[in-house]
Amino acid sequence: MTTEDLTPLLLDALGKRIDDPAAVRLAQALGKKPFKNATPGNRCDIGNRKLGIEVIAEMNLATRSHFPPRKDGRKWVTWVSAAFIYPNYRGSLPAGFDWQMDDAALTARFKRRVEGAVEEVRFTLPPPAEGLRAKVSINSAGLPKHMLVSVDEEETYATIYPDSKPEHSVEDGFFASWCALNGILRQDRLAAGQLDALRKRELSPLAFLSSSLGGLLWQNDVRPEHAAFCHAYMNRLMEPEKASALFDTQETFSDSNNWRKPGDAMTQDGWENFDRIGPRYAQRLEQWNRREIHSMVDWPEQP
């Protein structure tokens, strides 16, 4: 069993391609064969539980530098994305953290949040390196059960992939345009001319998403106070679930373009259709602010 500190190797490999020398060195230190290329339906995991670590590699990471997913020949370019670290891990740990710390000790030092559909208590540790993040989850006894060190990905609300059909992003364009017109986006996200053109309806909602926003409406595009709402609403993570974008789209337009069959009439990109669904977006935000609806995964901050 290796006595080498794996932490520097891990931090060096995260965010890099699996064929990068840093990723190859990490796999070797774990006593494993090199990472395999992931696919849209399968990631690649390698680990060594005796060393207390499992490493994940994926082909689709929600960061601006890794987007879009791409192929190198016939294989998907795959990135070392995350690692689960367990209490028997003997590598160096983030400053101020120790596996023997209980809930109270962790709360005194780190930001505590309840996260996920299972309402798991997690603590956010200082970033171990630029572009990375670290979170610790605790077990029922109030002690750390694992640490997740990963690439610092954004939550995604609307994404236009290079090979996607334009009609499948029409409804995303409606929501993105509504966000821009209603102060949901970060103040510095758009140039004044871009927002003016949208207000004057000089371009369609889908054209706005694809051009002014570069096809992405992600976490760092919106004001922090609106991120949880956008995440829950656009990803069917709202409680009740019927208060999510998909169901509002189906009620307004009979169905989502993503669910329509070839040959079916599609909802058209245009301001007339935007005006049909825009009031529903506003209603959902008002309900959110009144706490009549809430996220299934993002819970209020801990005191």
Band (pLDDT 50/70/90 cuts) for residue 2 is low
Question: What is the pTM assigned to this prediction?
Answer: 0.92
- Cα pseudo-dihedral 57, 60, 65, 70, rounded to 10: 110
User: What is d(CA 297, CA 227) in angstroms, rounded to the nearest whole number?
Assistant: 12
Mean local confidence (pLDDT), 33-38: 96
- Cα pseudo-dihedral 290, 291, 293, 297, rounded to 10: 140
Q: What is residue 4's predicted lDDT score, i.e. its pLDDT? A: 82
pLDDT tens track for 206-229: 999 999 999 999 999 999 999 999
Pick from 174, 242, 228: nearest CA to 206: 174
Residue 77 structure tokens: 């370019």
**In this model, does residue 1 exceed pLDDT 60?**
no
Q: Which residue has the tokens 């101020």?
A: 96
Beta bridge partners of 56: 45, 82
Contact indicator for 251, 155 with CB cutoff of 8 Å: no
**In this model, does residue 302 exceed pLDDT 50?**
no
Q: How far apart, in Å, do the first and last CA atoms of the chain sit?
A: 43
- Mean pLDDT (the chain) is 95
The answer to which of 68-72, 113-117, 165-169 has the lowest mean pLDDT is 113-117
In terms of phi and psi (left: phi > 0; alpha: psi -120 to 50; beta: otherwise), the region of 80 is beta
Pick from 253, 187, 260: nearest CA to 220: 187
pLDDT tens track for 76-111: 999 999 999 999 999 999 999 999 999 999 999 999
Mean local confidence (pLDDT), 37-60: 96
Band (pLDDT 50/70/90 cuts) for residue 301 is low
